[in-house]
Structure 1
């Protein structure tokens, strides 16, 4: 059956003109064209990642990414998918409806590769690799491109969703478009252990770029539905022209400003606290990932110290942005208010960075809603300079928490970052967002055992990507500190151990790099120094006696128990008394 008998997108109540349906071959080329320009413009560092995989030439990398994107919707050639929409111009119009097991078209595409297309070596790019090895390399890429809806495709046995003519049409399409990309090849390194390991590391980011290309290539505003038949090379040129406009959906990357001192970020600070002074003095000019743990009392200026470190790291070319994770939505809202006065200083004046608030109730915060610009998603629209907070957040970031971490500066709940290392849909987008960022996590002493374990996984992932993490806490136990340092060590594949601290080792600053661990005591501000007397009671009876004495004197006293049941059990006798 001809490739022109398969639809890819249909009119779903839209009134934006265009034909009733968009041919599958044209939608595939739309997405491929977006991917091509994403590489040319290095949007979200996709060209950088392909270079890491060994494709050094930008045009060759752009052609390869566009070609692999042509495979993303091959599952839609399935008869089970095609019968979901009927049109008199399509051959399926008069066919009786067949009943199929419900399977996503992403999984159908992966199934088609495993059962049919993998045995068609004429579809593979030229390579010095043998057919068997080329097939093995192609098998690495297929889940990345077919699993473009936020989850990897399922590996299931072939069912009857594809008729033979459907398989032939898919093969015919892939054979035709191969000629559009003369520079594509499969490097030998992709079949070597080191290359496979590198691919597995970077595939998360590349799969996220596939998602973004599909979303953009599906925008009928830029790619009107067309059922017109034409040669694929003719439509490819049209798609390239449309895609060059469509990529203005992606907000332009902002340029980091030079770090010129604490007064640039915080004009109100005349005399840095001891912790802030350390943040100014630490040697950050080492290669690879770094972990900083700042432990100090409330009022010691931990937030400012962390942002000083973050800006220094960004100015040194080690990151393009940051995400500040907090334990609750309330604390995230408060930090967003604080960051609103600081974050623009992180970037050059002619840049247009975005500050995002990332949590499920952010729409309830007026300050954030007022900060959103470019509501029509036009990348060429200028912000309204008459509004006091017009330089805030591009609407493209703000329309979904899935994309929130892609903004240059993010403030939100820590769980928004934690979902990057959990089996959540579109966690690859969150990983892509964090891939060039410093992670700052505040009040980590508030994490329970479950959250602490996820945080350790996030630190490990940040370290394996070569990124910095800054942790803030009032204080940590030796066990907590050990686990955090161990997580970083796993990420950089080095053995580093946290030092054993004594009772007087507080406040404390820890810096871990790929080669060393620097751990040191820090002075604290005189204004926040305090002395707390502690006495020990070793039985519940002694506690009750102390409470009785306080009550008789008319004093206030609090007894904090480990559980509600304990509190009720101890409270009841006193009430009866």
Structure 2
């Protein structure tokens, strides 16, 4: 097809920064992006291409390719409009010369919105070939490639002046015809479906945006003058696209191992370590025999039964049978993410694939992780020296937060996966990254009602996107288990499956198997009730290690951890006991060192001290592979008490102290004189309170208290399932005092009401579900990523978890005269950070999150230095200005203590 001079004159890219007149024709850019999409899909597993074919109603990708690439190429049709062409003077003058004019200066309208409008409403071959709903949804998908979907009101607001009529409509039709002719997309073989569906929409939107990121880069696609033969141009663009993918590290997606290995032959670390399968792992292997469609595995098994190895093995089998493109492992916290990252890197390295594997760490403090830093250095060095082809690396291009989910493998927090189903910019790219993938969700019990509902929505989308999921927990309440299974399409849930158990959902069908827990890992705990106050707790803690051993104290708040550490500090030092403190309220670099130190002492291969006490918060209960001889824990919901208890005698050790003949779990707050305990106001230090009911639900705490108060011991895993079901189930507890029963009944409606409110709030937060049409709605307000927009009102943020508002702060010490110090470096808050990346990174490594309301309000009011706002590392951080290590904000005085971390004091006066 010969193009008119008007069509050739349209510009798609220009070098406006240098203002040297260089430009790239619009049609060239459209073909560049289509070429990138084709190159990406050529390197994807065959099953990914089949999913696109299915979306458009074809039996195979070859038949779908012409129409798919045509739709993606037309993503920038809206640039053929006055609203866009007027943005660059030289380009505007050129198109005017070709008769494409406008009466007055048009208003700015995102060209993606115009693309969507033109594709939906104008007369061109697409209107005749495609069903209206299909065309409307496809136009929406490719039109939102810059991150935001247009609302109906925004589309209606686009006027004729911005869109352009007459010659503009003719040139847009010409572009559509040229694209269809080039790819051979004729009406005789047009898509046979009437609509895309939710998964098809997100697949098309995600691929278009991903391809546009690459196709828009001058590093990969230099400007080329208009050419006569579009076919020749496209072939060259496809070669450039493959070269660009090589440069960013997007390799062909191949299975980690082509041959199927029995579990006992799978290497689980870089040294090739293998394991004989345990009962859980044999159960998983059996359920995955002959697996022919995407699958959910819901694993409920005691702590230390090998769930992680079962998940890795499950991914291998699912990848081989289904062609999954990779895996993402989602954890509750950064600390658990760091621990899993190391294990995942070792597993991937041990698999020994000939093509390097890309592995990204996804959480806000990834830069602090030394292992991740080493993988990034490997990627930089790759190919520069002989033999520098690592088995695992972390390519720089995917380290950007928006692009990290595109990587083949990833480990991080659950929040990074949940951002895919929240209405924020480019969420469809994250959704695309999770498609046709194995997603592992560990410690699924660790989330509140709101986040749990978001996880259910995520599972529904994973099912629709053709992804498999492996969800793991020590145990779950019946209601929670059934909700997770149904979210992945389960038609019904089997009753009375003994614990431990594994459920499998595939194509709506549910299978379940129970298995015998590893008999070598059965633990009988002695249960000891203690008051919440420290007068009895401190002597008991010190006595537990008097003759040797390692004790953990897990408490419910950071403030209580700091106070217990202070109470223990003097006596422990006098008795030669090593005392450590670990919680989340430390500067990031210090927290990372503490985390590594804790794992180095109490981990599986740890250098166990002769006598040691570790005081910490909930960061110790989730996924960290730690092992203690004795434990003291604050009373918490039963499932979390059991989770904490899973760190007792976790490993088979021959080096326990002679006096540690049996594991003991001391529960602080379980010994109370009143029949109805007070978890909120019971004072244990002058002026200090517990606040446990601010952390956990009162009804659940009371039910846990009622069940544990008469017990002398716990049997793990035997007691796990009945205890959790008794606490979370609907029935009344037997044999408890009437006053305690009345208190539980009084607290229960509030819990139920809060649960309904949290689920309703979550239902309004995510983008809809894939099978009921709710995904079609465009949110009236696009919500903002909290990490990218700290100044936004909370109602406008895309929250993955409920809780008090928080901000990231960097403690800086005021030296006077406008000089400040942080991390041993002097600087000025208003100094420019341009070219000072090392300083910015040193500051960033000291960040920590605070959520105390008066501090958040005062810091938000004070704002951030302009130089910080403009820097990619510091733009979300506020300076916490300290004098002499202290500062007053609102009703609070804060102190940064080298040992205790950030400490809150009440302001005097």
TM-score > 0.5 by shorter chain = yes
Q: Alpha-carbon deviation of 1:318?
A: 5.4
Alignment partner of 1:251: what SS? coil
Distance 1:321 1:406, change over 3 A: same
Q: 8 Å contact 1:356–1:393 — kept in the other structure?
A: yes
- In 2, are the aligned partners of 1:297 and 1:474 still within 8 Å (CA)? yes
Higher mean C-alpha deviation, range 265-274 or range 449-458: 265-274
CA distance in 1, matches of 2:45, 2:288: 31
Question: Measured at CA, do residues 136 and 440 of structure 1 come closer, stay the same or move farther in structure 2, by a change above 3 Å?
Answer: closer
Instruction: Measure, in 2, the Cα distance between the counterparts of 1:395 and 1:549.
Output: 50
Q: CA deviation at 1:107?
A: 0.6
1:6·1:24 contact (CA, 8 Å) conserved in 2?
yes
More strand by proportion, 1 or 2? 2
- CA distance in structure 2 between the partners assigned to 1:225 and 1:11 by the alignment: 9
The CA deviation at 1:547 is: 5.9
- Post-superposition offset of 1:208: 1.6
State the Cα distance separating 1:575 from its structure 2 match.
Answer: 6.2
Alpha-carbon displacement from aligned partner over 1:286-316 (angstroms, at most 9, x marks no partner): 3323322222333222212222222233333
CA deviations 1:6-39 (Å, max 9, x no partner) are: 2211114469xx9622121221222233334445
Instruction: Look up the match of 2:404.
Output: 404
Are 2:87 and 1:113 aligned?
no
Q: Extract unaligned runs of 5+ from structure 1.
A: 126-130, 536-542
C-alpha distance in structure 1 between counterparts of 2:181 and 2:129, whole Å = 22
* 1:56-95 alignment runs, 5 A limit: 56=59, 60-87=63-90, 90-91=93-94
1:343 aligns with one of 344, 348, 354: 348
What SS does structure 1 have at the residue aligned with 2:392? coil
TM-score by length of 1: 0.81
Correspondence for 2:495: 499
Counterpart-to-counterpart distance in 2, 1:154 and 1:272 = 53
Instruction: Note the alpha carbon deviations across 1:209-234, whole angstroms, 9 max, x for none.
Output: 21222122212233212344646456
User: Structure 1 residues 345 and 437 mapped into 2: Cα distance closer, same or farther (>3 Å)?
Assistant: farther
Instruction: Provide the C-alpha distance between the structure 2 equivalents of 1:418 and 1:108, rounded to a whole number of angstroms.
Output: 30
Q: Distance in 1 between matches of 2:293 and 2:61?
A: 25
Tell me the alpha carbon deviations over residues 38-71 of structure 1, each in whole angstroms, 9 at most, x when there is no partner: 4555578553233323445655433323322331
Indicate the structure (1 or 2) with the bigger Cα radius of gyration.
2
Distance 1:225 1:303 in 2: 49
Q: Cα distance 1:529–1:64, how it changes in 2: closer, same or farther (>3 A)?
A: same
Retained in 1: the 8 A contact 2:86–2:92? Answer: no
User: Given the alignment of the two structures, is residue 518 of structure 1 paired with residue 519 of structure 2, yes or no?
Assistant: no
1:312-391 superposed matches below 5 A: 312-317=317-322, 319-346=324-351, 349-372=353-376, 382=383, 391=392
SS in 1 for 2:162: coil
Does structure 1 residue 174 correspond to structure 2 residue 176?
yes
1:171-210 to 2 correspondences below 5 Å: 171-185=173-187, 187=189, 190-192=192-194, 196=195, 199-210=197-208
Cross-structure match for 1:9: 13
Rounded to whole Å, the distance in 1 between the matches of 2:142 and 2:409 is 29
Which position in structure 1 is the counterpart of 2:683? Answer: 571
Pair 1:21–1:458, CA change in 2 (3 A): same
Q: Offset of 1:154 from its aligned partner?
A: 3.3
Report how far residue 110 of structure 1 moved.
Answer: 1.4
Task: Check the 8 A contact 1:310/1:438 in 2, yes or no.
Answer: yes
C-alpha spacing 1:471/1:27, structure 2 compared with 1 (3 Å): same
Residues 125-136 of structure 1 mapped to structure 2, 5 A cutoff: 131=128, 134-136=131-133
Change in CA separation of 1:525 and 1:271 when aligned onto 2, cut-off 3 Å: farther
In 1, Cα distance between equivalents of 2:70 and 2:191 = 19
For structure 2, list consecutive stretches of 5 or more residues without a partner in the other structure. Answer: 542-631, 638-677, 689-909
For residue 384 of structure 1, report the CA deviation from its aligned partner. 5.2
1:139 and 2:133 aligned:
no
Distance 2:150 2:538 in 1: 70
C-alpha deviation, 1:328, in angstroms: 0.8
- 1:571 is paired with a residue whose SS is coil
CA distance in 2, matches of 1:442, 1:185: 48
3-state SS, counterpart of residue 308 of structure 1: helix
| Residue 561 to residue 436, structure 1, CA distance change in 2 (3 Å) | closer
| 1:478 and 2:478 correspond | yes
CA distance in 1, matches of 2:325, 2:511: 25
Is the Cα contact below 8 Å between 1:83 and 1:97 reproduced in 2?
no
Look up the match of 1:24.
26
Preserved contact between residue 482 and residue 493 of structure 2 (Cα < 8 Å): yes
Aligned residue in 2 for 1:392 = 393
Report the alpha carbon displacement of residue 405 of structure 1 after superposing the two structures with TM.
Answer: 2.5
How far apart in 2 are the matches of 1:179 and 1:508? 56
8 Å contact from structure 1 (residues 372, 390) kept in 2: no
Summarize the Cα distance change of 1:262–1:357 in structure 2 as closer, same or farther, 3 Å threshold. Answer: farther
The 8 Å contact of residues 7 and 22 in structure 1, kept in 2 or not, is answered as yes
2:435 matched to which residue of 1? 435
The answer to whether structure 1 residue 223 and structure 2 residue 228 are counterparts is no
Structure 1 CA distance, aligned partners of 2:265 and 2:343? 16
- Match of residue 104 from structure 1: 110
How far apart are 1:146 and its partner, in Å? Answer: 1.9
1:153 aligns with 2:150: yes
**CA offset digits 1:137-192 (Å, max 9, x no partner):** 43332122222223333332241212333333222332344432335346576345
Of Structure 1 and Structure 2, which has the larger fraction of its residues in helix?
1
The answer to whether the 8 A contact 2:356-2:391 is kept is no
Q: Quick check: 255-264 or 468-477, which moved more?
A: 255-264
Give distance in 2, aligned partners of 1:150 and 1:107.
Answer: 11
- Distance in 2 (CA, whole Å) between partners of 1:61 and 1:173 is 20
Where does residue 128 of structure 1 map in the other structure? none
Cα pair distance change 1:108/1:302, threshold 3 Å: same
- How many pairs were matched up? 537
Task: Classify 1:312/1:185 alpha carbon distance in 2 versus 1 (closer, same or farther; 3 Å).
Answer: same
Deviates further, 461-470 or 51-60: 51-60
* TM-score normalised according to structure 2 size: 0.53
Q: Give runs of aligned pairs for residues 535-554 of structure 1, distance below 5 A.
A: 551=536
Q: Is the 8 A contact 2:494 2:510 kept in 1?
A: no
Does the 8 Å contact 2:292/2:322 carry over to 1?
no
| Secondary structure, counterpart of 1:479 in structure 2 | helix
What SS does structure 1 have at the residue aligned with 2:217?
A: coil
Q: Is contact 2:533–2:685 with CA below 8 Å preserved after alignment?
A: no
Q: Is this contact kept in 1: 2:129–2:187, CA < 8 A?
A: no
Give the structure 2 partner of residue 538 of structure 1: none
CA shift for structure 1 position 239 = 3.4
User: What is the DSSP-based 3-state SS (H/G/I as helix, E as strand, rest coil) of the residue aligned with 1:124?
Assistant: helix
Alignment match, 1:278: 283
User: Relative to structure 1, is the Cα distance of residues 328 and 99 closer, same or farther in structure 2, using a 3 angstrom cutoff?
Assistant: farther
SS in 2 for 1:256: coil
CA distance 1:168–1:282, change in 2 (3 Å)? closer
Change (3 A) 1:166 1:374: farther
**In 2, Cα distance between the equivalents of 1:88 and 1:101?**
17
* Equivalences for residues 217-256 of structure 1 within 5 A: 217-228=215-226, 230=228, 232=230, 235-236=233-234, 238-248=236-246, 249=248, 250-256=250-256
Q: Indicate if the aligned counterparts of 1:321 and 1:438 stay in contact, CA closer than 8 A.
A: yes
Counterpart selection for 1:529 from 511, 517, 523: 523
Distance in 1 (CA, whole Å) between partners of 2:48 and 2:170 is 32
Q: How has the CA–CA distance of structure 1 residues 231 and 189 changed in structure 2, closer, same or farther, with 3 Å as cutoff?
A: closer
Shifted more, 302-311 versus 97-106: the winner is: 97-106
